[in-house]
Amino acid sequence: MDSCNKKFYSTEYWRFRIKSEKKLYAIELAGNVPRDAVNAFSNASQPQFVTNLRAFSTPDKDNDGWSGGKCADENGRWFNWCGVSVLTNNPQSWGTVKSATSAANKDVIYSTMMIMIN
């Protein structure tokens, strides 16, 4: 992902699975390889924001577990409540950068999810 401070941040997983339609396309990730962004799916300081193994939410399919509204109000993503990273809404923000000199929350210019099949 690219942020407003003109830096590119990334993270990597050695296992990435999307479950079936019956299981609401839940995401399953394992083996996070530390880079310059932390694991936004399962390395949250508050358990209610852990998004690993959560169903996919869209504006018309609210699977986020938050009774106060919809986290996926504009686009789809895996949420538990509203998670630690919101890369698909406007304004985009995230709290996954490991940096001692900058604030934890950054505005995201764009994000990309790349999948390698092996």
pTM over 0.85: no
pLDDT at 21: 96
∠44-105-48 over CA atoms, to 5°? 25
pLDDT at 80: 84
**Furthest CA-CA distance within the chain:** 44
**Positions in the chain whose pLDDT score sits under 50:** 92-104
pLDDT at 103: 43
Domains along the chain with CATH numbers: 1-118 (3.90.215.10)
The answer to whether the peptide bond before residue 91 is cis (omega within 30 degrees of 0) is yes
d(CA 58, CA 71): 8
pLDDT at 92: 47
pLDDT at 97: 41
pLDDT at 3: 60
pLDDT at 86: 55
pLDDT at 55: 93
pLDDT at 51: 84
d(CA 93, CA 117): 29
Residue type, 66: W
